[in-house]
Structure 1
């Protein structure tokens, strides 16, 4: 049985300040994010991972930096990048933004997966580019324990893709920074073993 550990990156200042941060923002972890990454490392450093996959954005590989430096093979995949929020990238929260996002999220929940902001991506776009990472998880038989670090929205889309849930159910997957979803892959099927696991963060103040 193959096991896949999928986590969201640690906190950035954009997360902390409520600024829109998608594929177009390549932010560093802040102090809290670095603490979250350290706690995840301390809790899971003895898991014999054979491969690490991250997005192309540095907040993901900074989160799993100690695993990478321990010598585990690492590959960056464009398909794991966060959704591109288009014209809203880097914008601070205000009434206009909140209204626009509420309407967009509602349209996705209603099944309009191709809807997107100007110059941005739809959740269908993200779903389609996640097909390649899914294929790698399925076909690389030599990789039995895998660590994947990605982003809040793209992680929710990926979990829908892997488990067969409709994209309208994305919000069923909580996505706190460094939250873990542990999955098994056996007989052609992905199954969630640990759901919304944040036990490693129990000591964070």
Structure 2
């Protein structure tokens, strides 16, 4: 195999997402009705793609997002390296004004290049990248698997896309995302490089979003 295609998606919506509550890796929340509708819409749009393998984080919201594909008999594997960043003491907490200041300071530090700065009692972007590397190495080592579907999380996705595409982690916020958005990458084995084919695509959610606007 000369190339490998990766379809990387963020999980569907949970009630925590709806309420603006941080989940991180420590809150194992299920999809809500909207999240299930988003998952169904993505399945409807991409069920024709002959995925050779599905990879998810160990958190249930990623499994539920791709469950319809798994029910087709596509093999899947859970990798903890794909888990969301740990937001430490902020997980499961409804943000208030003081929390807004905390997050602002954190993001400003990361954007300034201090990506070794961890969340309080949680992880730094560099720590997340360190645990993502063996997960991606494992996926790429399966040279007979293409395309693959990878279901993961928002901040972890930003970190992953940054280093896969050769950007410093300080620029991770350039990779916008929403629930059940799609990024598609192609890995070329000969050069050992990734190219970005599709970014933050949500066209498959048009019917879901249109229904909500009625």
Provide the TM-score with structure 2 as the length reference.
0.94
Instruction: For residues 113-136 of structure 1, give each alpha carbon's deviation from its aligned partner in whole angstroms, at most 9, with x where no partner exists.
Output: 111122101111101000012212
1:189 alignment partner in structure 2:
193
Find the counterpart in structure 2 of residue 14 from structure 1. Answer: 16
In the TM superposition, residue 22 of structure 1 has moved relative to its aligned partner by 0.3
Answering whether residue 137 of structure 2 is matched by residue 152 of structure 1, we say no
> In the alignment, which residue of structure 1 is the partner of 2:203?
199
**2:106 is the counterpart of 1:126:** no
Moved more, 183-192 or 14-23: 183-192
Alpha-carbon separation, structure 2, partners of 1:91 and 1:160: 28
CA distance in 2 between counterparts of 1:130 and 1:2 reads 18
Pair 1:83 & 2:85 matched: yes
Q: May I ask how many residue pairs the two structures share in their alignment?
A: 205
The aligned residue for residue 164 of structure 2 is: 162
Q: Is the 8 A contact 1:134 1:162 kept in 2?
A: no
Q: Which residue of 2 aligns with 1:135?
A: 137
Give the SS at the match of 1:112.
Answer: coil
Q: Which runs of 5+ in 2 are unaligned?
A: none
Provide the rounded CA distance (Å) in 2 between the counterparts of 1:14 and 1:125. 24
Q: What are structure 1's unaligned runs of at least 5 residues?
A: none
User: Structure 1 stretches (4+) deviating beyond 3 angstroms?
Assistant: none
SS of 1:20's partner is coil
Cα distance, 1:99 vs structure 2: 0.5
How many angstroms apart in 2 are the aligned matches of 1:72 and 1:192?
A: 25
Paired residue secondary structure (1:196)? strand
Cα RMSD after superposing both structures:
0.8
Q: In the alignment, what sits opposite 1:49?
A: 51
**Secondary structure of 2:172 counterpart:** helix
Per the normalisation by structure 1, the TM-score is: 0.98
1:138: how far off?
2.3
CA contact (8 A) 1:183 1:191 kept: yes
Give distance in 1, aligned partners of 2:136 and 2:26: 23
Deviation at 1:203, TM superposition (A): 1.0
Contact conserved, 1:126 with 1:157, CA < 8 A, in 2?
A: yes
1:63 aligned residue: 65
Alignment partner of 2:118: what SS? coil
